[in-house]
Amino acid sequence: DGGITQSPKYLFRKEGQNVTLSCEQNLNHDAMYWYRQDPGQGLRLIYYSQIVNDFQKGDIAEGYSVSREKKESFPLTVTSAQKNPTAFYLCASSIGTGWVGLFFGSGTQLSVL
Amino acid sequence: AQSVTQPDIHITVSEGASLELRCNYSYGATPYLFWYVQSPGQGLQLLLKYFSGDTLVQGIKGFEAEFKRSQSSFNLRKPSVHWSDAAEYFCAGVFGNEKLTFGTGTRLTIIP
């Protein structure tokens, strides 16, 4: 079945450590997105990519980095510069680049040790 | 600036009762509008979307939404809720060529 796979489901980060969240899709979608979700807030856009080897900052990109070397993959690295990384991270993809019809993965919960 | 507002943080409904979740937007033209549902610890699932045309749109799981331009609203409705409908519901919009903007969500609790 086609879909988006996020791994791991739960991740723990130590002080000063970089961690990478995986996002893979087999839907042949062009665009991919990373969102951060905090309790009581909506989803906030971290980064998005509408084509391979290109990506754009979203509203809260500081302390995060991404790459898009393959159409299927869009990993997110949470760097040590992100001082408040505890959140639920959601990856999404869409068939076009018009921000419509986003299809979401099941998320990764990141916590700080 | 364009925005999506969900005025109700938490709603409690009895099983079998009707449901209406409110969503308002701020934009000078007609946006693309969406409703998503999220179960605890899971991703978001698209319930329905409105682009243009018929202002009453049908979605999955028995949900519908009505676009009202005069009220800048896109409220979600269901005639009879089931315990499995307990979740968080997000309204979202695309305004022109801008990014998808989410509301802050409404948590739905179902009581027996």
What is the per-residue pLDDT across B72-104, written as a single tens digit (0 to 9) for each?
A: 999 999 999 999 999 999 999 998 878 899 999
pLDDT of residue A97: 73
B1 touching A (Cβ < 8 Å):
no
Q: Are B35 and B91 in contact (CB under 8 A)?
A: yes
Which residues in chain B have Cβ-Cβ distances shorter than 8 Å to A25? none
The predicted model gives A35-54 an average pLDDT of 92
Three-class DSSP category at B69: helix
* Yes or no, beta carbons of B105 and A42 under 8 Å apart: yes
Residues in chain A: 113
Which residues in chain A have Cβ-Cβ distances shorter than 8 Å to B9? 40
- Tens-digit pLDDT profile for residues B52-75: 889 999 999 999 999 999 999 999
Q: Which residue has the tokens 């701020």?
A: B26
* Contacts A–B by Cβ distance under 8 A: 55
Instruction: Give B 6-65 residues with CB within 8 A of chain A.
Output: 9, 32, 34, 36, 41-46, 49, 51
- Tens-digit pLDDT profile for residues A47-88: 999 999 999 999 999 999 999 999 999 999 999 999 899 999
How many angstroms away from the CA of A66 is the closest CA of chain B?
A: 18
Assign residue A9 a region: left if phi > 0, alpha if psi is -120 to 50, beta otherwise?
Answer: alpha
Query: Which are the contacts of B54, defined by CB distance < 8 A and separation ≥ 6?
Result: none
Cis (ω within 30 of 0) for the bond into B7? no
Which residues in chain A have Cβ-Cβ distances shorter than 8 Å to B103? 42
